[in-house]
Amino acid sequence: MIDINILRKNPEIVRENIKKKFQDAKLPLVDEVIELDIKVRALKQEVDDRRAKRNTLSSQIGALMREKRAEEAQAIKAEVVANNERIAEIEKQVAELDALIKQKMMTIPNIVADDVPVGKDDSENVEIQRFGEAKVPSYEIPYNADILNSFCGLDKESAGRTSGNGFYYLMGDAARLVSAMISYARDYMIEKDFIYAIPPFMIRSDVVTGVMSFAEMDAMMYKIEGEDLYLIGTSEHSMIGKFKDQILKESELPVTMTSYSPCFRKEVGAHGIEERGIYRVHQFEKQEMIVICKPEDSMQWYNKMWSYTVEIFRNLNIPVRQLECCTGDLADLKVKSCDIEAWSPRQQKFFEVGSCSTLGDAQSRRLGIRAKGENGTYFPHTLNNTVLASTRALIALLENNYNEDGSVTIPEVLRPYMGGKTVIVPKK
């Protein structure tokens, strides 16, 4: 949610930003909010004037009563009552209009950074740089489900019976490998001085709407029937929500945290849940990182955060690239975002394994997170980044460490978490 002062002083900036994001249908919101804001401010001024008048009338009543002019005092008392009724009426109207303004403001997209490339969708994202050599071996790399099945690591048939399409059982070394990756990613982030946390896996609706747009919520979140609770799609949501309605000391910034959680996603509007593999599923595990910092430090943290993901994947022998997300691919709360994509030697192309975003003060405004420094209180900036998402990281690891004999070499950094095992050998 942007600062309403931007709309008051520079509405054209907001209009141009909406156009950059190819959301022209939202352009009328600018004038609607400005008109409502003018009305609210006029009503609030009337309330202030009436309160001042009430104070004056109250003084007059006291003076008249002392002078024993009761009849005149009663007339003024009646005027005070009418004045109070009008104040109450205006305050109710202001509350309704404030709620309407907030609703519209939460639909207007955040102002994107100046250097974000303009584009309609993810097909126009821009490659920034590559890390590691994207190789294609002389032998064939099987589909991820087939690699997993070769060492009895995947059971989607049973998951279909228990849970339906889009779920899976990971078994044996496959399950152990996922735990090893998550544990390694956790320890890596702890070494970077991030506080480790396991957050709630369900959050209330006011937290959901504080961290994401309504469209994202409808497409991603599972709601718990009969309760004001949603299953998290990523632990960033509950981690940022941890600071809802809090005033942080500026001396405590930056807040740097890394969190583990399962993630649940409906995947509405996605390209479809896979029948065989684990690329797009309803449930996976993830190590996440979040930062809450002073506004002037947010871009420095943004660059640190995505670079951590790159280093982790390179340590897993996986070539990656950084893509700058264009305006049309940015969620409404984001100021700037980049995707980290892993190389798939089987498909001979890159695929997304993580995303790093700075959201400016949008989330802190929505959630009432403030910081207090020498110059008063302000809304800090929030950032989030995928450290490692289990299923996609597993696909990238299997493909890039697959050997011609069907075995999979375990990257050196994971071996301590695998009991010293160096390779996974097919069982069938």
Show the tokens assigned to 28.
Answer: 């009328």
Distance, CA of 323 to CA of 125 (rounded, Å): 6
Would you say residue 270 has pLDDT above 60? no
CA distance to 169, 300, 401, per residue, from 414 (Å): 21, 29, 13
Cβ contacts of 94 within 8 Å, gap of 6 or more: 40, 43, 44, 47
Assign 268 a pLDDT band (cuts: 50, 70, 90): low
pLDDT at position 203 is 96
Evaluate if residue 271 carries a pLDDT over 70. no
Q: Rounded to whole angstroms, what are the CA distances from 106 to 29, 30, 317, 322?
A: 10, 12, 42, 29
The average pLDDT across 183-189 equals 98
In the chain, the percentage of residues whose pLDDT exceeds 90 is 85
pLDDT interval class at 127 (50, 70, 90)? very high
Map tokens 């160096």 to a residue: 422
DSSP reduced 3-state for 211: helix
Instruction: Write out pLDDT tens, residues 59-112.
Output: 787 777 777 787 787 788 888 888 889 999 999 999 999 999 999 999 999 999
3-state DSSP percent of the chain in helix, strand and coil, to 5? 45, 20, 30
Mean pLDDT of 378-396: 98
Q: Is the distance from CB of 21 to CB of 110 less than 8 angstroms?
A: no
Q: Which of 178-182, 266-270, 305-309 has the lowest mean pLDDT?
A: 266-270
pLDDT recorded at residue 63: 78
State the average pLDDT over residues 410-418: 98
Structure tokens at 194: 């991030």
**Do the beta carbons of residue 323 and residue 125 sit within 8 Å?**
yes
What is the CB neighbour count within 10 angstroms for residue 37?
17
The reported pTM is: 0.90
CATH class for the region spanning 122-424: alpha beta
Neighbours of 305 (CB within 10 A): 25
Pair 129, 322: CB distance under 8 Å: yes
Torsion of CA 175, 181, 187, 192, to 10 degrees: -150
Give 4-105's CATH code, choosing from 3.40.50.300, 2.40.50.100, 1.10.3720.10, 1.10.287.40: 1.10.287.40
Question: Residue 360 half-sphere exposure, CB side, CA atoms within 13 Å?
Answer: 17
- Mean pLDDT over each residue of the chain, to the nearest integer: 94
152-166, 203-217, 394-408: the lowest-pLDDT one = 203-217
Amino acid (one-letter) located at 217: M
CATH 1.10.287.40-classified regions of the chain:
4-105
Determine the Cα–Cα distance for residues 355 and 302; give it in Å rounded to an integer. 11
Mutual orientation of helices 28-66 and 70-105 as an angle, nearest 10°? 160
- Condensed to tens digits (0 to 9), the pLDDT of residues 207-251 reads 999 998 877 788 889 999 999 999 999 999 999 999 999 999 999
Determine contact, residues 205/214, Cβ cutoff 8 Å.
no
Give start-end residues of each CATH 3.30.930.10 domain in the chain: 122-424
pLDDT given for residue 50 in this prediction = 87
Q: What is the CA radius of gyration of the chain?
A: 28
Peptide bond into 262 cis (omega under 30): no
Mean of the pLDDT values across residues 137-164?
Answer: 96
* pLDDT tens sequence across 192-204: 999 999 999 999 9
Task: Give the model confidence (pLDDT) of 325-355 as tens digits.
Answer: 999 999 999 999 999 999 999 999 999 999 9
pLDDT at 61: 76
Q: What is the rounded distance in angstroms from the CA atom of residue 27 to the CA atom of residue 21?
A: 11
